[in-house]
């Protein structure tokens, strides 16, 4: 079955209970976010530098970059936060670092989801030591717990309830990243 609001990709059976954010909602909101971010860099000397956090942010990163009305460059980092498959501990390890220096650059971290905020606050602290000219965060999704670990996030696409979601880059055990929408994963899939 395909959940209401979903288009194709029904081969995951009924693992996806509901579409939380549709393809169209993602597309429309991404355009708004990109426009909002661009207004803050009206006369930048260098291209804006987007840093995408692999793998979850990959879909949002590429759509965001295409929607951005100003030139940007793209870098990727991969980090792993120790913890269970569905929550993080805040202890972070860099799996893939940036390829270049970000000193004196205007940097926007592009994130898929902020849950506890622990991963992001670690990442911001780490990137600040490299002396970017500016550093801000644009995240597609934010869960309610994020408010407890105050990380200043400039732009949020959608505030979502505290449920495990997958799709549009987000995975459970590496699956479902390829879904073009954000869906709620059936509990029985991740609970034994």
Q: Is 115 a catalytic residue?
A: yes
Three-state SS string over 15-58 comes to: CEEEEEECHHHHHHHHHHHHHHHHHCCCCCCCCEEEEEEECCCH
Of 146-175, binders to Mg ion (CB under 5 A) are: 171
Q: Which is nearer to Mg ion, 30 or 88 (CB)?
A: 88
Euclidean distance between CA atoms 79 and 171, whole angstroms: 15
* β pairing state of 16-21 and 106-114: unpaired
* Closest distance of CB 77 from Mg ion, Å: 14
Name which of Mg ion, ligand XMP, none residue 22 binds, using a CB cut-off of 5 to 8 Å depending on partner kind.
none
Among 60, 64, 76, 164, the residue binding ligand XMP under the rule CB under 6 A is 164
Residues 33-72: x where in contact with ligand XMP by CB under 6 A, - otherwise, as a string: -----------------------x----------------
Instruction: Point out the catalytic residue in the list 47, 115, 171, 192.
Output: 115
Q: Tell whether residue 140 is a contact of ligand XMP (CB under 6 A).
A: no
Euclidean distance between CA atoms 23 and 63, whole angstroms: 11
Name which of ligand XMP, Mg ion, none residue 139 binds, using a CB cut-off of 5 to 8 Å depending on partner kind.
none
Pair of tokens at residue 159? 């505030």
Among 165, 168, 179, 189, the residue binding ligand XMP under the rule CB under 6 A is 165
Nearest to 61 by CA among 168, 162, 166: 168
Euclidean distance between CA atoms 173 and 164, whole angstroms: 12
Euclidean distance between CA atoms 27 and 30, whole angstroms: 5
Pair of tokens at residue 21? 């954010």
Among 19, 118, 124, 140, the residue binding ligand XMP under the rule CB under 6 A is 118
What residue ranges bind ligand XMP (CB under 6 A)?
56, 81, 88, 112-120, 164-166, 170-172
Q: Which residues bind Mg ion (CB under 5 A)?
A: 171
Known catalytic residues are 115
């Amino acid at each position: 079955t395909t959940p209401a609001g979903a288009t194709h990709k029904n081969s995951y059976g009924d693992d996806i209970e509901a579409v939380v954010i549709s393809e169209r909602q993602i597309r429309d909101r991404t355009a708004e976010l990109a426009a909002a971010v661009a207004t803050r860099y009206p006369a930048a000397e260098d291209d804006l530098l987007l840093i995408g956090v692999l793998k979850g942010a990959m879909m949002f990163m590429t759509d965001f970059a295409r929607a951005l009305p100003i030139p940007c460059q793209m870098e990727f980092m991969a980090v792993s936060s120790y913890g269970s498959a569905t929550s993080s501990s805040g202890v972070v390890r860099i799996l893939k670092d940036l390829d270049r220096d970000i000193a004196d650059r205007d940097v926007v971290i592009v994130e898929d989801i902020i849950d506890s905020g622990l991963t992001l606050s670690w990442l911001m602290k780490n990137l600040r030591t490299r002396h970017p000219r500016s550093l801000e965060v644009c995240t597609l999704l934010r869960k309610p717990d994020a408010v407890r670990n105050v990380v200043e996030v400039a732009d949020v696409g959608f505030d979502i309830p505290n449920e495990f979601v997958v799709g549009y880059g987000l995975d459970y055990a590496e699956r479902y990243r390829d879904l073009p929408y954000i869906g709620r994963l059936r509990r029985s899939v991740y609970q034994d």
